[in-house]
C-alpha cells in the first residue's frame, strides 16, 4: 500500500502478540545516519512497547545498505533470534547506483527469507529525496521502524 494512504506507525494494538519471550536481531546501515537512527529508535521502542526486553534486542551496524544482506545472514547463522530486522535508507541520486543497491538488497533479503528458518524483515527506505526519507522515519507518514517491529513480532509467531 502506498505510504501516502497509510501511516506506518498505525496498527491495531490488540492484534500484536506479546514479545516478552522473543529475541530480535537488528542490522542498521550507517549510511544516512539521521534516517537510520530514527528508524532504529522507532523499531526498538515499538519492540519494547510490546514486551521485548532490552537485553533481547541485539543491534549491529554495517557501513551501508548493501551490507545489510551480509549482516542479516550472519544473524541467521546465530540461530538464537526469533526475527531479524534490517534498517537502511537509500536516496536516489544522479546515477543508476540507487537502482543497483535497491534491487540487490531486495533480492538478497528475499533469498534469505526463502532459505532461512528465521524471518528477515525488510526495513529499507528507498526514496527519491531526503524529505521523503524523513517523512517515513518519524515524520508525517510515521516511522517504518515501527512497522518493521510489528512485522517482526508477528512473523516470529508465524
Q: Which residues are catalytic?
A: 97
For residue 5, give the DSSP letter.
G
What angle do the packed helices 68-78 and 97-115 form, to 10 degrees? Answer: 10
Q: Please name the residues in contact with 76: beta carbons below 8 A apart, sequence gap of 6 or more.
A: 84, 112, 116, 117, 118, 120
- Residue 63 burial class via C-beta count within 10 angstroms: exposed 0-12, middle 13-18, buried 19 and up: exposed
Which residue reads 546515477 in cell numbers? 95
Instruction: Name the DSSP class of 14.
Output: G
Amino acid at each position: 500500500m502506498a505510504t501516502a494512504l497509510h501511516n506506518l506507525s498505525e496498527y491495531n494494538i490488540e492484534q500484536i502478540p506479546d514479545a516478552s519471550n522473543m529475541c530480535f536481531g537488528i542490522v542498521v546501515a550507517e549510511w544516512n545516519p539521521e534516517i537510520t537512527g530514527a528508524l532504529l529508535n522507532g523499531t526498538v521502542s515499538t519492540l519494547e512497547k510490546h514486551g521485548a526486553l532490552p537485553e533481547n534486542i541485539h543491534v549491529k551496524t554495517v557501513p551501508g545498505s548493501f551490507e545489510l544482506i551480509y549482516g542479516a545472514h550472519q544473524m541467521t547463522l546465530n540461530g538464537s533470534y526469533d526475527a531479524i530486522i534490517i534498517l537502511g535508507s537509500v536516496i536516489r541520486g544522479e546515477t543508476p547506483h540507487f537502482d543497483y543497491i535497491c534491487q540487490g538488497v531486495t533480492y538478497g533479503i528475499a533469498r534469505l527469507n526463502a532459505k532461512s528458518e528465521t524471518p528477515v524483515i525488510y526495513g529499507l527506505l528507498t526514496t527519491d529525496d531526503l524529505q521523503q526519507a524523513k517523512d517515513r522515519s518519524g515524520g508525517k507518514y510515521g516511522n517504518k521502524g515501527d512497522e518493521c517491529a510489528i512485522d517482526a513480532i508477528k512473523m516470529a509467531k508465524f
